[in-house]
Amino acid sequence: MTLDFGTTLGGAWFPTPIFTASGCASSGKELSQFFPLREIGAVVTKSIMLKPRAGRPTPRMAETPSGMLNSIGLQGPGIDAFLIEDIPWLASQGARIIVSIAGETAEEYAVLSRKLRGVSGISALEVNISCPNVENRGLVFACDPTSASEVIKSVRSIIGGDLPILAKLTPDVTNIVNIATAVMTSGADGLALINTVLGMVINTETMRPHLGGITGGLSGPAIRPIAVRAIYQVRQALPNVSILGMGGVTSGKDALELILAGASGVSIGTASFGDPSAVIRIQRELHQILQDKGFNSVREAVGHAHRD
């Protein structure tokens, strides 16, 4: 019996359950030297904002045990250049595209949605709400159910039924199920879990914060148990919600762990920095391990850890 390796997220079908993670492969150009982008589930692009942005002060990276701390910020060309350059290039590669958007106000997300509505070649939107809301004392949208809902409602009202919307949440909350419920009842079709975990490193030589941005986002294997926990909790509370999982996946076995917790797809982020072929290797390993365990499809494995 051949394995059915396809998966659906928020109603969109993908031929494989392995994706890039936003911000870790830019728009895919570098990775395309290592494998054809059309062979993976989809490329999730770096969160795009309305205007070009320079990102945060240097240094922007610190190595940590089993992880990486970054304070790159949402550096990028802005939506207009992205639509002219990146989308057509990705489409020319035959890649499926999930566009990640980010804003500082609910209105900015609305404007981005207006610009993306009707653009062909996009499979879904990932709405990164793990950013500070300048209209609410810089409180991260995804830390507050009301602000999180407001963004998803405004994106939904503009996108209509054209594209699936995945809301990307931060694990830096007391109760992630509350936020997940809020965005799902506001029109999201699925969730992306998890963004980086807020952390900090102090340089003991200079005795000052190491990163120019003071705090940064922790990623890599150090956060995998947090991702597994968040996915498991959300799946338990909202069993029908589709989840794109990410956080510290470096092998097919790690990807399987997130799938067993409840993810229908898995994004690979930090692993690609050390090994640009990681995404395709992990995809191969996952295919093999699902077969070895006797699954007939990815669908059968999703949420398996919840079964008696």
Ligand X SMILES: Cc1cc2nc3c(=O)[nH]c(=O)nc-3n(C[C@H](O)[C@H](O)[C@H](O)COP(=O)(O)O)c2cc1C
Contact 126, 44 (CB under 8 A): yes
Look at strands 190-193 and 242-246 and give their pairing: parallel
Q: How far apart are alpha carbons 90 and 45 in whole angstroms?
A: 10
Q: Which residue's C-beta sits nearest to ligand X?
A: 23
Residues near ligand X (CB under 6 A) are 21-24, 46-47, 68, 70, 72, 74, 100, 128, 168, 195-196, 217, 219-220, 223, 246-249, 268-271
Report the residue number, 21 or 228, with the smaller CB distance to ligand X: 21
Contact 144, 100 (CB under 8 A): no
Report the residue number, 26 or 297, with the smaller CB distance to ligand X: 26
* Closest distance to ligand X from the beta carbon of 210 (Å): 15
Q: Is 24 considered catalytic here?
A: no
Report the residue number, 133 or 294, with the smaller CB distance to ligand X: 133
Report the residue number, 118 or 132, with the smaller CB distance to ligand X: 132
CA-based R_g, the chain, Å:
18
Report the residue number, 229 or 291, with the smaller CB distance to ligand X: 229
Q: How far apart are alpha carbons 183 and 195 in whole angstroms?
A: 16
* Closest distance to ligand X from the beta carbon of 87 (Å): 16
Closest CA to 97 of 140, 46, 135, 56: 46
Report the residue number, 62 or 159, with the smaller CB distance to ligand X: 62
Q: Which one is catalytic: 131, 142, 223, 249?
A: 131
- Kindly list the catalytic residues: 131
